[in-house]
Amino acid sequence: MEDILQTLHQHTCSWLKGNITMYKYQNFWTTKHLIEGGILAQQNFKAEPSDVFLCSPPKTGTTWLKSLAFAIVTREKFDESTSPLLTKLVHECVPFLERQVAEIVAQRPNSGLPLIATHLPYSSLPESVAASNCKIVYIYRNAKDAIVSDYHFRREALKLDMEDAPFEGAVEEFCEGFSSYGPYWDHILGYWKASLERPERILFLKYEDLKRDPASNVKRLAEFIGHPFSDDEEKVGVVDNIVSLCSFENLSNLEVNKTGKPKGGTLENRLYYRKGKDGDWKNHFTDEMKERIDKLMDEKLSGTGLVLK
């Protein structure tokens, strides 16, 4: 492992006062620990056809997607008053491939939960993911809100004030491709192209669409992952109950998500719940920054059918 890591290009995030070094592995950037996890997953993880991968670039709605998918697949066991989501951070309910590969492999085939989350780009997923033909749900978000969300997440994780972590620096680095698991556009395009080739296996969800119409998107998600709602369930309000259980307002106000810390982790749970809004970028971007990101996204995504403003 060390041999591989020593050959990789490195980049130190200057806007974070040099506190984070990222490595470039298979054309994406992330921290050493996550690259090690990705390599271990590539080497040891064998996907099953019944697995459901929840994939995303960081800060685009992973926590929300994991909560919804977990509530959907466990709804016969738990309801909105007994769900583990009320007492545990969702990242302890749905495993994250790069951090928990050994645990995931050890628990197979009887974990009872088909869900596995990852930030790995499509081309870096373990080969068995495509070979097994298992399902993939991908969530993404407009680039400007993803930048703002990532900026506050990393800044707060390092306990830096805004004066010590200039936002312009985060925008600059994003444009150069140095976002976590970035370049951002490559991450999205990798999954987008795969979804065009295998639309029945890869569902694309957009954070903004989920915000605008959660119930229809929750139904799409449930159907896609093989747990569709029956007419009776819809009539008695099961879809609405899952939407309310997993709403930002509900989850962010739970004690576990306000004051908890995951077992063995250093990050506080509250960092996964900041504002939960579409459009907070308007409070951070100058006109010039907005134009720069919009132009960049137009250039990178032109002709693909994807719109990311």
Which residues sit at the interface with ligand A3P, rule CB under 6 A?
56, 58-64, 67, 145, 149, 152, 246-248, 251, 272-276, 280
CB 188 within 8 A of CB 119: no
Q: Which is nearer to ligand A3P, 23 or 281 (CB)?
A: 281
Q: CB 151 → ligand A3P: shortest distance, Å?
A: 9
Helix (H, G, I), strand (E, B) or coil at 54: strand
In the chain, which ranges are continuous DSSP H helix? 2-6, 32-44, 62-73, 90-93, 97-107, 127-132, 143-157, 167-175, 184-197, 207-212, 214-224, 231-235, 238-245, 248-252, 255-259, 287-301
SS3 label, residue 116: strand
In the β-sheet with 202-206, what is the strand arrangement from edge to edge?
A: 115-118, 52-55, 135-140, 202-206
CA separation for the pair 154, 160 (Å, rounded): 9
Give 130 or 221: the residue with its C-beta nearer to ligand A3P. 221
Q: Which CB atom, from 152 or from 219, has the smaller least distance to ligand A3P? A: 152
Given the residues 9, 91, 119, 187, select the one marked as catalytic. Answer: 119
Looking at the Cβ atoms of 191 and 273, the one nearer to ligand A3P is 273
In 3D space, the residue among 39, 98, 26, 73 whose CA is nearest the CA of residue 246 turns out to be: 73
Is there a catalytic annotation at residue 227? no
Q: How far is the CB of 64 from ligand A3P (least distance, A)?
A: 4
Alpha carbon distances (Å) from 255 to 69, 242, 264:
22, 19, 19
Helix axes 97-107, 32-44, angle to 10 degrees: 30
Cβ atoms of residues 257 and 251 within 8 Å: yes
78 versus 248: smaller Cβ distance to ligand A3P = 248
Shortest gap between Cβ of 232 and ligand A3P (angstroms)?
A: 26
Provide the minimum distance between the beta carbon of 57 and ligand A3P in the complex, in angstroms, as a whole number: 8
Scored b (16 or more CB within 10 A) or e, 107-123 reads eeeeeeebbbbbbbbbe
Taking Cα atoms as reference points, which of 275, 126, 119, 277 lies closest to residue 184? 119
Question: Residue 230 or residue 283: which is nearer to ligand A3P going by CB?
Answer: 283
CA-to-CA dists, residue 63 to 85, 106, 158, angstroms: 11, 24, 20
Q: Cβ of residue 248: shortest distance to ligand A3P, in angstroms?
A: 4
Residue 303 Cβ, how far from ligand A3P at the closest point, in Å?
27
Q: Please give the positions annotated as active site.
A: 119
